[in-house]
Amino acid sequence: MNKTLITNPIIWADVPDVDPIRVENSYYMVSTSMHMMPGCPIMKSGDLMNWEIVGYVYDFLENNDAHNLTDGKNIYGQGSWAASLRHHNDTFYVCFSSNDTRRFYVYRTKDIERGPWERSVIDGLRHDPGLLFDEGRVFVFSGNGGIRITELTADAAAVKPGGIDRLLFETERDGIGLRCEGCHAYRLNGYYYLLFIEWPSAGSKRRRQICYRSRELLGPYERRIVLDDDLGYRNKGVAQGGIFDTPTGEWYAMLFQDHDAVGRIPCLVPVAWEDDWPVFGIDGKVPERFEVDLPKAPAKPLVISDEFDYGSNRLALNWQWNHNPDNRLWSVTERPGFLRLRTGSLTDSVVRARNTLTQRTEGPSCTGETVLDTARMKPGDHAGLVALQSHFGTVGVKMADDGGKFVAMCVSGGNGEEIERESVRFDGGILYLKIRFEFEDSVDLATFYYSADGSEWTAIGEALRMKYTLDHFMGYRIGLFNYAAGQSGGYADFDYFRYERS
């Protein structure tokens, strides 16, 4: 069999809180998507190195002001967190909690790549849940420090009346800053295994992988540190994720690592078994390179260029909206070959604007470019490209109240405020825009450019020192935006989005 070379990280982009499974010869994983819609991306691989997005669990989670980014409300850093993915009796299950709604969601489908997904909602948070199907019973383990077990009905749609619902155990406290969370639950080798991460306040002072095991569901549980390594990167521990096997009986873990502004990035780790304990890595380390006994699969890009040449008003799966879109106000068919973003409700900042269309950024560096037709923009409109996080930067066209146009570079002033760093008078109709992202060695700089012809580029404003902040809790995205500060009804047309990773 041909082998595939694994190079860590397997994805140098924000794909956090991964939970992987194998179904026959295919591998799937789900990750956190929070305020990005559609949500809960499903990724697929045949060789564990090359992954593609094949679908989403939902188009939108809730239809309210916070999820719609209206009336001053938002779900930055909230929404779906740390989903659990399982396959049982020909059905796929995804469950997660949402911090803003204080609810627990369970989705089911027979077809993980095409859906549809059936949804159930259970009141109450179950933090970082781990779903387990065990001899006709269904359990969810959850919590931070204090780990709870809750029994669900056979279809996982509700809490089972009279079933188990109790504190299972308390995890270590001494010398621990962040106690155990991020549960992944398994029954293997006659044991129940619960995998967690914790963050010690002494010793290595980095996130590490913990395993609890017991021969009995309700314990007592033994504890072991199974991985404490940073892959040589700034004491950022590789931890949190799930384990799975291959058809030939090899075991692996898919974990992630905090990587500053680009986000939390997945790494594949070999797993061996010694005395029925999982042993992560090689000699306690996450290998940078190793081979797996799987035939290499074609590489599919996570972030794509797009000429917006669609036959119907449905975008490629690589795109996600910032919060729920207003589907009345965007189109890729009104003007064939263009993305049209119409303005709706008035706002004063890109982080409060609906219908910002985004993709991830990737390391070590990448560039996104677009061309903007400004002919139908109205006074007060602002359209262009954004490096999106709480500490954002934009380059685009601002329309003055008198109808004048300006190329402007803006940054966050805090609390969503948008501050202009430089503006230049612009008398044309078509403008080319570009953002260059540098993530190598955590340089974390974004540089902004404009051009009248797409060949001669001029830097504008200042290089943005990108910061990963917990209020958004997401790696930097590149996005196309258009919002109105003065009057609604205008629109901006984007001819293409072209992306290059280097």
Tell me which residue of 87, 112, 97 sits closest to 182, measured CA to CA: 97
pLDDT digits (tens, 9 = 90+) for 461-472: 999 999 999 999
Length of the chain: 502
Active site includes 181?
yes
Contact 399, 414 (CB under 8 A): no
- Tell me the C-alpha distance between 423 and 83, whole Å: 43
Contact 356, 350 (CB under 8 A): yes
Q: What is the mean pLDDT of residues 194-212?
A: 97
Beta bridge partners of 457: none
Task: Label each residue of 234-300 as H, E or C.
Answer: CCCCEEEEEEEECCCCCEEEEEEEECHHHCEEEEEEEEEEECCEEEECECCECCCEEEECCCCCCCC
- Tell me the C-alpha distance between 240 and 209, whole Å: 6
pLDDT digits (tens, 9 = 90+) for 143-167: 999 999 999 999 999 999 999 999 9
Q: Which pLDDT score, from 0 to 100, does residue 1 have? A: 60
Active site includes 456?
no
Q: What is the mean pLDDT of residues 265-273?
A: 98
**pLDDT-derived band of residue 403, with 50, 70 and 90 as boundaries?**
confident
Q: Can you spell out the DSSP letters for 282-347?
A: BTTB--SEEEESSPPPPP--SS--B----SSS---TT-EEESS--GGGEESTTTTTSEEEE--SB-
CATH of the domain spanning 320-501:
2.60.120.200
Contact 73, 65 (CB under 8 A): yes
Q: Residue 10: which residues within 8 A CB-CB, separation 6 or more?
A: 48, 49, 51, 266, 267, 268
Catalytic residue among 100, 181, 306, 444: 181
Instruction: Give residue limits of the domains in the chain.
Output: 4-284, 320-501
- Tell me the C-alpha distance between 419 and 411, whole Å: 5
Task: Label each residue of 188-230 as H, E or C.
Answer: ECCEEEEEEEEEECCCCCCCEEEEEEECCCCCCCEEEEEECCC
Residue showing tokens 């140098």: 12
Task: Answer yes or no: is pLDDT of 253 > 80.
Answer: yes
Q: Which pLDDT score, from 0 to 100, does residue 158 have? A: 98
Beta-strand pair 130-134/417-426 = unpaired
pLDDT digits (tens, 9 = 90+) for 16-44: 999 999 999 999 999 999 999 999 999 99
- Tell me the C-alpha distance between 484 and 347, whole Å: 6
Identify the helix (H) or strand (E) that includes residue 37: strand 36-37
Identify the helix (H) or strand (E) that includes residue 65: helix 65-68
Q: What is the mean pLDDT of the chain?
A: 97
Catalytic residue among 17, 128, 258, 373: 17
Residue showing tokens 């002494």: 202
Strands in 393-490 per DSSP E: 393-399, 405-414, 417-426, 430-438, 445-451, 458-459, 464-465, 477-484
pLDDT digits (tens, 9 = 90+) for 72-100: 999 999 999 999 999 999 999 999 999 99
Q: Name the CA radius of gyration of the chain, rounded.
A: 23
What are the strands of the beta sheet with 176-188, ordered from one edge?
176-188, 191-200, 208-214, 222-227
pLDDT digits (tens, 9 = 90+) for 219-228: 999 999 999 9
Task: Answer yes or no: is pLDDT of 2 > 90.
Answer: no
Residue showing tokens 């949190």: 240
pLDDT digits (tens, 9 = 90+) for 230-243: 999 999 999 999 99
- Omega of the bond prior to 364 within 30 degrees of 0, cis? yes
CATH of the domain spanning 4-284:
2.115.10.20
Output the six-digit token pair for 117.
């997904």
The CA-atom distances, in angstroms, between 127 and each of 148, 212, 230, 404, 460 are: 10, 18, 25, 51, 43
